[in-house]
Structure 1
Amino acid sequence: MNYLIQVLVLRWGEGQSGSKNPIQQIKSTITYLKIATYEAVTGIASTEGNVDDDGNGSGSETKYITEDQALKINALIDDNNLDKEAWLKYSKIEHFNELEAHRFGSLMKRINERLAIIATKSQA
């Protein structure tokens, strides 16, 4: 496995732009491969792959969703008998009121996409 990662790091990292040093290139490639593998295995887009801002958000205060938004997520999950623990784990939080505000729209989109898949399968 380590050999495979080394080969992929060397091949994939060759064309990278920017001023990354070799250690940063390796770390970026490994992170990318972990995210891509997770998405391929689960069929669910990871949140990690969607929030990388190359450090541009560092230092700013984190804003969380409102109580109404948390209730909306909970209701959507409960009303459709979805696995709340799985969605919390997917979101890397313990309670939906811990969800960062900028992630609310993408989480709602993912839940609704999942419901559409379930509906399609139940009609078949």
Structure 2
Amino acid sequence: MNTKICPSCSKEFQGRRNKKYCSVSCKNQYHNEEYRNSNQTVITLNRTLQKNRVILKDLFKVYRSSAIPLSVLEAHGFDKKFHTHLFNAPSGDRYTMVYELGYKTSFDNQIQIVEMDEVV
């Protein structure tokens, strides 16, 4: 048997020539860490988008389609740099969307929050 060092926990172990990890849990831990490290940008972006979505959803429940200052969203932690897409409604209005929720900005920094099914 060959003596090897586990890349996850750094313990010495013995096993087959092609065995890399001392246990299944070390193997899983190693690959989970690799996944997290290689996808950190995507994970952070998704977290920010999800936070923006929750803020829009919560404020939509309170205000519906009433105009509110953009500063209200920002006070709740909304980051207007992050959105999923832009939507041009048949009426000609342009909405900044975060998944199924969106908002349109008026000239005086007021916004109107909408759900996608209301826009179409």
Give the structure-2-normalised TM-score: 0.25
Higher helix share: 1
Higher strand share: 2
Give the structure-1-normalised TM-score: 0.25
